[in-house]
Structure 1
């Protein structure tokens, strides 16, 4: 029996009837005591397999960011993919978006599912969340895989101020949210593999439904939080097996910034993929990511 299924009621609630979608694992809503309700996709994996928790990037979701990885990873690991707060079906709150709160959400999810620890895999914005999960809840993290990400995203303080001011203004703009709702679907479509592009309308409808669930105020605040993130003072303290997956043609997070993680984190290994920031939408991503995660799993004592 396949661990993945193309049709789940929770995926179709905003899509026209009969709309095909990428194969996705079962998803369910999970109550995080004292925090709210989130959404997680779950691949059981082989009996007794280690757990991998997948942390998606900005303006994505667990489904959109990782749909190419569920199958390859699920052959070796139990796989969880959470929707972060404000994204897709993730936790909703009136509080300002903080990356630290996302890390605490992941720790609460592991507690709710009675999982002692996991390999945290962070993509782009998910990288800081994975790093903060280790810093704030080290007992929950057995290893790290950091993909297309860095320990700081806007190098200069002046640039940070400009970035955060712009995103803060955008957070209060309804027009901004409407604009973003339209733009990313086309971006995703241009970068998806040929097999999916052959069915563009089905993929676009699924992606539009997934992204239409975002709380755009929180997404804009998330962008601002990324702009001020700086773990350079403590990133070298990471003491769990770590792999860094560098996207060498990345225009969003320069490969040089990604590669610095390998220098800063003791005993980190490097894995390269010659593609850009949306490599996660391509079939090659699943096998490359799986090799990086298995590298970390093999080094866990």
Structure 2
């Protein structure tokens, strides 16, 4: 169906590709062990990787649509932990994330801060990929005092720009208004059947990727997409006052590069870091994508230190 392509391509398609075929993946044999954590909104899966020193800066990673904390970020956890304390969580309606009545980006933003509270972290750089980039923006908007910087990757201010998307998202919203109870029941049923914690062994990467992908119910996708279609940060991105980097995937067909660049242009002082691949680069082009992300995080961290000094 042509109207669905703009919204469904990208991380979901990448995960399906990973499940079906052997692809070149980041050379990772294991990932850090996570745990279930109680936050005000419920209970969610969290990975918390110590940095090189107790006072290392903290970065929170927010994953893509249809993925999990592990599935989006497994290739960068070890590298980022060389310089940062790294926290990643499964977002609502994904993997072992919170199962709420409806999926709301604002709730996901509150969950990110709830994780910071539970782990005793005062503030952090928030890095989001695609859907996670929308949540990262909303986290600053709702909790600016908790966000020291933003890294926004393969994302935008809004996700229904052309005519097909402007028709697709309202139709999806109407459908989910009628089906949300059924969808939530199916999502909860799958979650109840999952092992308490995901596997951390990646010796068979294809099997591991398939397991992570299947931990998110297909029923969650329309619900999340309908909310993503309502997201619009354009009225307030010009007020973002923390160091921000935008990682632009130049061959992106899910979130066109021009939208990513408009996001960067709308945020005062935002820096742009270009990655050559498409929307699934975080996994399928990790060799080229990961250094770009690391550079963006380092840039924001450096500027955030100066920002705090000036504020003080």
**TM-score range relative to shorter protein:** 0.7 to 0.9
SS of 2:45 mapped into structure 1: strand
Do the aligned residues in 2 keep the contact of 1:72 with 1:287 (CA within 8 Å)?
Answer: no
Q: CA deviation at 1:134?
A: 0.2
Question: Out of 19, 26, 42, which is 1:36 matched to?
Answer: 42
Is 1:166 matched up with 2:172? yes
Matching residue of 1:83 = 90
Matching residue of 2:150 = 144
Matching residue of 1:186 = none
SS of 1:216 mapped into structure 2: coil
Cα shift readout 1:234-287 (whole Å, capped 9, x = no counterpart):
111100000000000101000010011221000000000100001101233322
Question: Out of 52, 58, 65, which is 2:72 matched to?
Answer: 65
Is 1:230 matched up with 2:232? yes
Between the aligned partners of 1:260 and 1:222, the Cα distance in structure 2 is 23
Q: Which ranges of 4 or more aligned residues in structure 1 deviate by more than 4 Å? A: 170-174
Between the aligned partners of 2:211 and 2:145, the Cα distance in structure 1 is 36
Q: CA deviation at 1:42?
A: 1.6
Instruction: Spell out the pairing of 1:1-301 with structure 2 (5 A cutoff).
Output: 22-33=29-40, 35-47=41-53, 48-93=55-100, 95-155=101-161, 159-166=165-172, 169=175, 202-281=204-283, 282-300=286-304, 301=307
Matching residue of 2:199 = none
| TM-score using structure 1 length | 0.80
Between the aligned partners of 1:160 and 1:80, the Cα distance in structure 2 is 34
Q: CA deviation at 1:156?
A: 5.3
Structure 2 unaligned segments of length 5 or more: list them: 1-27, 191-201, 308-312
SS of 2:111 mapped into structure 1: helix
Q: CA deviation at 1:216?
A: 3.5
Structure 1 unaligned segments of length 5 or more: list them: 1-20, 182-195
- Structure 1 pair 206–229 and aligned structure 2 pair: CA distance change class (3 A): same
Deviates more, 1:43-52 or 1:211-220: 211-220
Do the aligned residues in 2 keep the contact of 1:119 with 1:141 (CA within 8 Å)?
Answer: yes
- Structure 1 pair 163–22 and aligned structure 2 pair: CA distance change class (3 A): farther
Q: CA deviation at 1:26?
A: 1.7
Between the aligned partners of 2:108 and 2:218, the Cα distance in structure 1 is 16
Between the aligned partners of 2:130 and 2:223, the Cα distance in structure 1 is 16
Q: CA deviation at 1:161?
A: 4.4
- Number of residues paired by the alignment? 258
Cα shift readout 1:62-85 (whole Å, capped 9, x = no counterpart):
101011111211110000111101
Between the aligned partners of 1:161 and 1:120, the Cα distance in structure 2 is 31
Do the aligned residues in 2 keep the contact of 1:68 with 1:283 (CA within 8 Å)?
Answer: no
